[in-house]
Each structure stands twice: as C-alpha cells, then as structure tokens.
Amino acid sequence: MNDDNEFSTQTISPTLISQIVEALRNKAWGSIEIYIENHQVVQITERKITKIRGATQQNNVGKMPRINRFQLKIQKY
C-alpha cells in the first residue's frame, strides 16, 4: 500500500484499523480522539480516566475526577 494512503480517511487501511483497535483495547474509562488533516489521520489521542469511588461519593460530589492523558502520534515515514 502506498505510504500516502496508509492513514487516509478516504481509503481505510488495515494499518489504520489496527491503530484504532489498539487505542480501544482494554479501555474501561476514557475517550479516544482521532485528529484528521487533509483526509489523513495525523494523531490518535487516548484519555484515561481514573475514578476514585470514595472521594467522588463523599467529598467531591459534582466534581470531575482527575484525568491522566497521554498521546500516541502516528508518524509517516
């Protein structure tokens, strides 16, 4: 497959599907963001949310839990 089409949104490659599946794997809480520029996926960001049961139920009612973030950037060679 042509490298220019590896992460294209117009022709979905097995490599792109694999990257998305890997980001979703074992995700209990959180979100996945896919960034697209000019019909190319350029970044997949994973956001992991750690829920603290006792603190959110007792003292922090209505407050958002702390969010830990990391990014997985797709680089074209």
Q: Give the model's pLDDT for residue 1.
A: 46
Q: Give the model's pLDDT for residue 15.
A: 94
Residue with tokens 């995700």: 27
First to last CA, the chain: 13
Per-residue pLDDT of the chain (77 residues; tens, 9 = 90+): 456 789 999 999 999 999 999 999 988 889 999 999 999 999 999 998 888 876 545 555 556 555 555 555 555 54
Range of the domain at 28: 3-73
Reported pTM: 0.59
Count of domains forming the chain: 1
